[in-house]
Structure 1
Amino acid sequence: MTEYVIRFLAGGAVVSAFAMLGDLLRPKSFAGLFAAAPSVALATLGIAVYQHGAHYATLQTQAMIAGAIALAVYSVVVCQILVRARMRALPATVLSLVVWLIVAFGALTLAGGQT
């Protein structure tokens, strides 16, 4: 139970700090970039370091980076399929999931992570 309270407090504090940072930046469209994902990742890594040590947190960081790269590639592929092939959203996203999986596991493997 204590772990959940620590996660809640650490996550809330980091999310609030990033939300304030996002509120200070211009244009306001950047605020969403700083609100959720980076703050949750930092809170999770802080807890991972505390509970499991730096080596474990390094593996988690590599997995997060691989996932971020895969998400960026996935987003570009979905946009290209929607615009160029004029495919509907559901088939385009389902097809692009294959690309996301290949890029995510490929990046993780190249980084030396465990798959």
Structure 2
Amino acid sequence: MTEYVIRFLIGGVVVSAFSMLGDVLKPKSFAGLFGAAPSVALATLGIAIYRHGESYAAVQSLSMMAGAVALAVYSVVVCQLLIRARISALLATLLSIVAWLTTAFCL
């Protein structure tokens, strides 16, 4: 139970810090980008290092990086399908899941 409290507190502090950073930067759309993902990742890695050691956290960080690359591929494919192929958003996202899964499992 204390792990969840610690994760909540660390996550809240880091979310606030990244939100303030995003609020200072231009354009304002960066506020959402800096708000959630980095803070959750840092809180998770901090707890992983504390509870399981550095090698376990290293594996988690590599998995996070692979997930970020897969998300970038997914985002590019969705944009290309929406803009160039002019298909519906639902169909574009469903088709792009294949690209995301392929990238994630290959990495």
- TM-score normalised by the shorter chain: which range applies? over 0.9
Residue 85 (structure 1) aligns with: 85
User: Runs of 5+ in structure 1 lacking a partner?
Assistant: 108-115
Residue 76 (structure 1) aligns with: 76
- Structure 2 letter corresponding to 1:102: T
Q: Which runs of 4+ in 1 moved over 3 A?
A: none
| Cα shift at 1:46 | 0.5
Residue 22 (structure 2) aligns with: 22
Q: Deviations over 1:23-71 (max 9, x none)?
A: 1212222212211111111111101111111011011101100010010
- Structure 1 letter corresponding to 2:50: Y
What is the percent sequence identity of the aligned residues?
73
* Residue correspondence of structure 1 range 48-63 to structure 2 within 5 A: 48-63=48-63
- Structure 1 letter corresponding to 2:97: L
What is the TM-score normalised by the length of structure 2?
Answer: 0.94
Aligned length: 107
Cα distance in 1 for partners of 2:24, 2:79 equals 30
